């Protein structure tokens, strides 16, 4: 029967994934997001969360969330353009613009949707071009693919190769057809992770900004893993590199990582944000995040800016982990951020290493293709300001007992 064929196809695919050690499953947590959690009923010391500053369970944020729920209820009820845009959303957009040194900011319900929305809004035809780093996050890859533009992927952080590709696709498009003269403008958009999510290294944003300006291309930096963590006040990689709105016209940041809540924002010029409000379909046609999430994020933004000790402690832990892991001879990657992957290679080995750690009460998930390129499966260790030096010692001891 046709319907049975339909099911047998997906079962074959599931079997194939199992046999290649690529099968994924969720775990159930019965505690808040913090280093010591109860997961699948067992106590676990967790080194795989993106809650880099340890804010997801902060009492100030819980209080702000509860107060806003009392005032505004739970659901936002509608999209921002209908009547779902409440005072906490407005205040958060203004605070995020000020925090990032941009004229305006626009809230999206998730980072994935923010990336899709920007690319879709800016790119109008198959003649437009997206230039994407090979190691960009899946949401940026999908943003390029779904926008219907030409997708050009350049080797990781290779700005000279990007420069060549920009020259090969000039900004002007010859007009075809009789009697037409001149050329039409083609939109070109360079998209990159700020901090690469699976490697932990950073994009050469100064050089990217120079290339974008030289070639009149848009530059969008997805700083999901830099916001809160990098820069003097935690405003991210662009603050650390001293780049402003003129250098990087489109900044995307997420709220579900260092800021400890959920959702995302795009920050940029007044005109860019007005344009997104009119055209970004993943913003227009979706329900606004609950107002209480925006209120809790306002509280976390305050903590991010005033409690710089969190970033300082994180730096201490990063140094401690790297020194210890180097002594153990573990293959680390070139990262100075809280993302400290241990490169394993085969998915089978990465799974075995992760499950050995799990048996000793430590959770570090194995990251496998297609999230990372073939033969580069890894344990993605992430550090948080909520970890103690003793927590990191425990991880190093366990890694020492269970080498790859």
Q: Which residues are catalytic?
A: 197, 225, 257
187 is annotated as contributing to ligand binding: no
156 is annotated as contributing to ligand binding: no
CB atoms within 10 A of CB 84: 18
Three-state DSSP class for 125? coil
State the nearest-atom distance from the C-beta of 193 to ligand PMP, in Å: 5
Q: Which residue is nearest to ligand PMP (CB)?
A: 111
Tell which phi-psi region holds residue 300, choosing left (phi > 0), alpha (psi between -120 and 50) or beta.
alpha
Q: Is 344 in the site for ligand PMP (CB under 6 A)?
A: no
The Cα 274–Cα 353 span in angstroms is 49
Three-state DSSP class for 190? strand
- Residues 305/99, Cβ–Cβ less than 8 Å: yes
Q: In the beta sheet, which residues pair with residue 377?
A: 345
24 is annotated as contributing to ligand binding: yes
Between residue 95 and residue 124, which ones bind ligand PMP under the rule CB under 6 A? 110-112
- Positive or negative torsion for Cα 279, 281, 286, 292: negative
Q: Which two tokens stand for residue 97?
A: 């613009």
The Cα 126–Cα 186 span in angstroms is 10
The Cα 380–Cα 383 span in angstroms is 10
169 is annotated as contributing to ligand binding: no
Task: Give, for 290, the enclosing helix (H) or strand (E).
Answer: none
List 254, 300, 382, 404, residue binding ligand PMP (CB under 6 A):
254
List 80, 104, 137, 380, residue binding ligand PMP (CB under 6 A):
137
Q: Which two tokens stand for residue 80?
A: 């921002």
Three-state DSSP class for 36? strand
State the nearest-atom distance from the C-beta of 103 to ligand PMP, in Å: 23
306 is annotated as contributing to ligand binding: no
- Residues 303/55, Cβ–Cβ less than 8 Å: yes
Q: Is 224 in the site for ligand PMP (CB under 6 A)?
A: yes
Q: Per-residue contact track with ligand PMP, 259 to 298, x per CB under 6 A?
A: -----x----------------------------------
State the nearest-atom distance from the C-beta of 363 to ligand PMP, in Å: 17
Q: Is 382 in the site for ligand PMP (CB under 6 A)?
A: no
Q: Per-residue contact track with ligand PMP, 182 to 201, x per CB under 6 A?
A: -----------x---x----
Q: Which CB atom, from 114 or from 330, has the smaller least distance to ligand PMP?
A: 114
The Cα 131–Cα 110 span in angstroms is 22
State the nearest-atom distance from the C-beta of 264 to ligand PMP, in Å: 5
Q: Is 256 in the site for ligand PMP (CB under 6 A)?
A: yes
Which residues belong to the annotated binding site for substrate? 24, 137, 371
Which residues lie near ligand PMP (CB under 6 A)? 110-112, 137, 139, 193, 197, 222, 224, 254, 256, 264
Which residues belong to the annotated binding site for pyridoxal 5'-phosphate? 111-112, 197, 225, 254
């Amino acid at each position: 029967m046709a319907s049975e064929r339909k099911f047998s196809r997906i079962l074959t695919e599931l079997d194939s994934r199992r046999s290649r050690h690529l099968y994924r499953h969720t775990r159930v947590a019965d505690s808040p997001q913090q280093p010591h959690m109860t997961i699948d009923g067992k106590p676990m010391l967790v080194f795989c969360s993106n809650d880099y500053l340890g804010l997801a369970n902060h009492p100030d944020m819980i209080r702000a969330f509860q107060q806003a729920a009392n005032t505004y209820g739970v659901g936002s009820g509608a999209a921002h353009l209908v009547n779902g845009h409440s005072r906490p959303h407005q205040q958060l957009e203004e605070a995020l613009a000020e925090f990032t040194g941009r004229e305006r900011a626009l809230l999206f319900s998730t980072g994935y949707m923010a990336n899709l929305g920007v690319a879709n809004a800016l790119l109008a035809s198959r003649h437009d071009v997206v230039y994407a780093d090979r190691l960009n996050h899946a949401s940026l890859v999908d943003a390029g693919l779904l926008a219907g533009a030409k997708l050009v992927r350049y080797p990781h952080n290779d700005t000279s190769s990007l420069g060549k590709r920009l020259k090969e696709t000039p900004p002007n498009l010859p007009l075809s057809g009789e009697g037409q003269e001149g050329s039409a403008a083609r939109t070109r958009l360079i998209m990159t992770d700020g901090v690469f999510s699976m490697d932990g290294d950073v994009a050469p944003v100064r050089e990217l900004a120079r290339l974008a300006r030289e070639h009149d291309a848009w530059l969008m930096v997805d700083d999901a893993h830099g916001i809160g963590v990098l820069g003097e006040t935690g405003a991210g990689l662009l603050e650390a590199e001293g780049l402003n709105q003129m250098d990087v016209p489109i900044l995307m940041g997420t709220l579900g990582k260092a800021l400890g809540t959920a959702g995302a924002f795009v920050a940029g010029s007044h005109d860019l944000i007005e344009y997104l409000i009119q055209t970004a379909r993943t913003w227009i046609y979706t329900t606004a995040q609950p107002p209480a999430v925006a209120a809790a994020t306002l509280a976390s933004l305050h903590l991010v800016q005033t409690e710089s000790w969190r970033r300082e402690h994180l730096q201490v832990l990063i140094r401690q982990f790297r020194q210890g892991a180097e002594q153990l001879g573990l293959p680390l990657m070139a990262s100075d951020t809280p993302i400290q992957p241990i490169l394993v290679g085969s998915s089978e080995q990465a799974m075995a290493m992760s499950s050995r750690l799990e048996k000793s009460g430590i959770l570090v998930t194995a990251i496998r293709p297609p999230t990372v390129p073939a033969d580069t499966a890894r344990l993605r260790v992430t550090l948080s300001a909520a970890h103690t030096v003793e927590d990191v010692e425990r991880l190093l001891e366990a890694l020492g007992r269970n080498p790859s």
